[in-house]
Amino acid sequence: MCVFNRVKKKIGGKVWISCCSSRSTCYLDFLLQCTSKMSSKFSFQWLSSLLQYPSIAPLVRSGEEISDPIPATIKGIIPAWISGSFLRNGPGKFEFGQDRYTHWFDGMALMHRFHISEGSVTYSSRFLRSDSYVQNSEKNRIVVSEFGTVATPDPCKNIFARFFSRFQSPKATDNANVNFVKYKGDYYVSTETNYMRRVDPQSLETKEKVDWSQYIAVNSATAHPHYDPEGATYNMGNSYNKNGFFYNIIRVPPTDENAATEETANLTGAKVICSIRAAEPRKPSYYHSFVMSENYIVFIEQPIKLDLLKFMLYKIQGKSFNKIMSWEPQYGTIFHLVNRHTGKESEVRYRAAPMFTLHQINAFEDSGFLVMDMCCGDDGEVIGEFTLENLRRCSGEEVDKFYNSLCRNLPRRYVLPLTVDEQTPLDQNLVTLHNYKATAKKTNPGEVYMTHEELHNDELLQYGGLEFPQINYDQYNGRSYRYFYSCGFGHVFSDSLLKMDLHTKELKVWRYPGLYPSEPVFVASPKATEEDDGVVLSVIITPRKDKSTFLLILDAKNFTELGRAEVPVNIPSGTHGAFYKMG
């Protein structure tokens, strides 16, 4: 029985079935007693049907556009002090005409807005009018390649034109379906190519396309920038030339208060403050985000590799971008430490065992050490597995088998000693901070090997690990903190919301069968004096009932439900979002 096998491996032979509260009960003995008088065949079938997963295909169906805001039905209480818009982004259209996308990441960007004011909520959504969306719509077929889908040649072209189109350089998509970000006071939607789109955060109207390479020498940028207290934005992007492949740290300055208000995108003043040479020039690492503390940026060079030779050939071979990625644990993990103010890279190379990370939780400095917390897994093959074929499997054993094949991401802590020199002794744990279990040992001149500390206990394993971490970012990013919020993954898509207390490793949980929450976003109350004084927002969807979506508002302190705003729409599962205070 797949469910039993999965959990036995994690929590020592007991099967845990979570209830709707933060507590869970071991029901295996109870279930076995209930079935002891049945035939063994019937008992097995009954238990299997009870524990098998439902189909999640409705979570990855195309959504609809609602350009005119509609009112939500309020249940419970929406605190009157919440004033602004909860914006969400993600794949929302998976076909054009007879063409179908292959991978979940490929869907056209669908933007969502829950506007909250004086205890009421309205909802609206719009497809991003990217060049990719417009061209696909005009042709009624897929004409722009995405992460996992290769566009087929135009059938109207003759055979020679179609053949030679294979040799043309692939054009990067501007389908910015990952996140909402902010530069110089303007709002953008972004993905992981060199293109972003400026958007109006109130009407969700698509504005101009922005090409990073027109401002600085990079070929891409992440969808997860960091913001400093002064208003500057930091990001990372790739570049490659005859001298090799580089990971570049980008800084975009704050808005100039004396400058005239502009009606177009403005990234002037953006510059590369540090270029980090790839350890393997022909096999650079894939990355989704990076670490930033008060004074440092850390780039994590992980062993998910991009094969540049395959990259040059993949269009000719008719293969999608995800086919050039591979998990190669023999390369291990390298942490590159950079001074955020000077742009100088440390001469010390920090190494660790191979691991996979998409999202970091937070980082802060403590008495000569840099503490980094992140969601990590031990198998980087997971990204390529989120094909629509896998996600649209039938319910039961097929979904269970796919879930069990996925890596579980868990919260880990690494601690980098900031003062390592020739006098630093070899093979001695340099982490001297009280209550820290992570280690760091100088193994060779200019090299430190680190092991991590697990930031959880066995209780988290009942919820399948976690991802999409969020903190009280405005007040605690880059600072010592206590709480973070995330999604629990007891299913292929997140099926719970978690609050982790890092001092006690205690979990608070919101979970209901059949409900799938989005990334939780913390919003501080206006007069907050404590780190967790505020609310947590999340969009809840379900495949079990048509047009049954709601915005959930949790009290961040005790993690209990305050209210929900229900809207009669089907929203596909999304990626990231943010809360922006505005009128």
Q: What is the pLDDT of residues 256-313, one digit of tens each?
A: 765 656 678 889 999 999 999 999 988 999 999 999 999 999 999 999 998 877 766 6
Q: Above pLDDT 90, what percent of the chain?
A: 71
Maximum Cα interatomic distance, the chain, rounded to a whole number of Å = 80
Provide the 8-state DSSP code for 470: E
Lowest mean pLDDT segment, chosen from 5-14, 54-63, 178-187, 254-263: 5-14
Specify whether the CB–CB gap between 529 and 448 falls below 8 A: no
CB crowding 40-55: b at 16 or more within 10 Å, else e: eeebeeebbeebbbbb
* Rounded-to-integer distance, Cα 368 and Cα 119, Å: 46
Specify whether the CB–CB gap between 279 and 246 falls below 8 A: no
Residue 112 in marked binding region: no
Cα R_g (the chain), whole angstroms? 24
Residue whose tokens read 């990952």: 178
Residue 214, number of CB atoms within 10 A of its CB: 10
* Rounded-to-integer distance, Cα 577 and Cα 364, Å: 24
Lowest mean pLDDT segment, chosen from 8-17, 85-94, 414-423, 484-493: 8-17
Q: How is the chain split among helix, strand and coil, in percent rounded to 5?
A: 15, 40, 45
pLDDT of residue 260: 53
For residue 335, what are its two tokens?
């942490």
Has residue 581 got a pLDDT over 90? Answer: no
Mean pLDDT of the chain: 86
pLDDT digits (tens, 9 = 90+) for 123-138: 999 999 999 999 999 9
What H or E segment, with its residue span, contains residue 196? strand 195-199
Residue 321 C-beta-side C-alpha neighbours within 13 Å: 19
pLDDT bucket at 372, cuts 50 / 70 / 90: very high
Q: Outline where DSSP puts E strands in 471-581.
A: 483-488, 496-501, 506-510, 516-517, 521-524, 534-541, 549-555, 561-567, 577-580
Domain hosting residue 439, numbered range:
46-581
What H or E segment, with its residue span, contains residue 493? none
pLDDT digits (tens, 9 = 90+) for 503-562: 999 999 999 999 999 999 999 999 999 999 999 999 999 998 999 999 999 999 999 999
Residue 226 in marked binding region: no
* Rounded-to-integer distance, Cα 265 and Cα 259, Å: 14
* Rounded-to-integer distance, Cα 59 and Cα 107, Å: 12
Residue 103 in marked binding region: no
Residue 369 lies in a domain: yes
Has residue 48 got a pLDDT over 60? Answer: no
Q: Above pLDDT 70, what percent of the chain?
A: 83
Mean pLDDT of 482-510: 95
Residue 248: closest CA among 202, 284, 294, 198:
284
SS3 95: strand
- Which string of DSSP letters, residue by residue, matches 96-152? ETTEE-SBGGGSEEEEEEEEEETTEEEEEEEE---HHHHHHHHHTS--S--SS-PPP
Mean pLDDT of 194-208: 96
Question: For residue 117, with 0-12 CB atoms within 10 Å meaning exposed, 13-18 middle and 19 or more buried, which class applies?
Answer: middle
Q: Is the dihedral of CA 552, 555, 558, 564 positive or negative?
A: negative
Has residue 442 got a pLDDT over 90? Answer: yes
Mean pLDDT of 94-113: 95
Residue 576 in marked binding region: yes
Residue 8 lies in a domain: no
pLDDT of residue 230: 92
Residue 395 lies in a domain: yes
Residue 16 lies in a domain: no
* Rounded-to-integer distance, Cα 249 and Cα 196, Å: 17
Length of the chain in residues, anyone? 583
| Residues contacting 444, CB < 8 A, separation 6+ | 426
* Rounded-to-integer distance, Cα 496 and Cα 468, Å: 12
SS3 171: coil
Mean pLDDT of 310-330: 73
Q: Outline where DSSP puts E strands in 200-243.
A: 206-211, 226-227, 233-241
Specify whether the CB–CB gap between 18 and 26 falls below 8 A: no
Residue 281 lies in a domain: yes
* Rounded-to-integer distance, Cα 126 and Cα 180, Å: 14
Structural domain tally of the chain?
1
Q: Outline where DSSP puts E strands in 330-488.
A: 333-339, 349-352, 356-366, 369-377, 410-417, 439-444, 447-451, 453-454, 466-470, 483-488
For residue 324, what are its two tokens?
């050039």
Residue 39 lies in a domain: no
Specify whether the CB–CB gap between 372 and 416 falls below 8 A: yes
- Amino acid at the residue 492: V
Lowest mean pLDDT segment, chosen from 187-201, 383-397, 431-445: 383-397
Has residue 100 got a pLDDT over 60? Answer: yes
Has residue 450 got a pLDDT over 90? Answer: yes
Residue 28 lies in a domain: no
Has residue 25 got a pLDDT over 80? Answer: no
pLDDT digits (tens, 9 = 90+) for 128-166: 999 999 999 999 999 998 988 888 755 555 544 444 444
pLDDT of residue 172: 84
Residue 429 C-beta-side C-alpha neighbours within 13 Å: 12
pTM exceeds 0.75, yes or no: yes
Has residue 222 got a pLDDT over 60? Answer: yes
| Residues contacting 1, CB < 8 A, separation 6+ | 44, 47, 48, 51
Specify whether the CB–CB gap between 128 and 109 falls below 8 A: yes
pLDDT of residue 346: 97
Residue 310, number of CB atoms within 10 A of its CB: 16
pLDDT of residue 53: 59
pLDDT of residue 320: 66
pLDDT of residue 266: 87
> Which ranges in 183-280 belong to alpha helices (H)?
none
Specify whether the CB–CB gap between 533 and 523 falls below 8 A: no
Residue whose tokens read 């206990």: 457
Residue 236 lies in a domain: yes
pLDDT of residue 313: 65
